[in-house]
Structure 1
Amino acid sequence: MNYVLDAFAVLTYIGDEEGADKVEELLHKAENGEIKLIMNYVNLGEVYYIIAREFGVSKANEAMAVIKRWGMEFAGVDESLSLTAARIKAMHSLSYADAFVVATAIGRNGIIVTGDREFEGVYPDILWIR
């Protein structure tokens, strides 16, 4: 089973906020080879800029080093993914970065992991962490 992490899920886990336990459970399952966790580079960049804006570039760099050790796959962005995300953005009221989450989930037949209600009605398979 493939799970696609949104920046919301990663930031929730890092910040030990409500729902962090659900993300932690997925990280353990991925570590044990029970599931595959995927995040695309657009959403990784989203995590970076949010942390950098709030806590500074040094903390964002530290967070990237930690996230990269989580044993998840980082999906590259190519023309196909970009155009799929653009079509999703054109048809729905969600951020462009969130459209990349949906496009990645479509391409990988994955379940989106988030607490961001912008995804409601956009994609059918969502694991809500809050």
Structure 2
Amino acid sequence: MSLFVPSNHSFLKEETVTVEDVSKQPLIFFDYGSIDWLIIHRLFLSNGVNPNIYVEVDHMETAKNLVLQGLGISFLPEHCVKKELENEELFRVVMTPPVKTNISIDFIYLKGKPKSVFMDFLKNKMFEKQKTE
């Protein structure tokens, strides 16, 4: 998840871009209430600024197309804008300080219940991750 702007955006000429700078731009939000939305919304709240939400849409493709039309900027997953990055239609803007979009998720489950394929999968993934760190 990164901030993306169209090719003619003023952020591309700036040396640094802060959350405060972003809050002054028309922002296109997608998927209200999703984890991604919550992460980005928290970014603004934790910095004590309100985002200038120009429009909220249901799909990231719609958000991307609005950014391509120059109607605003948006935080989007990279997989959504891969082609536009390659074609230099959209550009990633690195913010200062860098935005961390990682999120921790806690799972609560009852021990001793019948085996869960899902929980076994998660435990194995966590064990693999610990081995590599």
Q: TM-score range by the shorter chain?
A: 0.3 to 0.5
Q: TM-score, normalised by structure 1?
A: 0.37
Q: Which has the larger radius of gyration?
A: 2
Q: TM-score, normalised by structure 2?
A: 0.36
Give the structure with the higher percent helix.
1
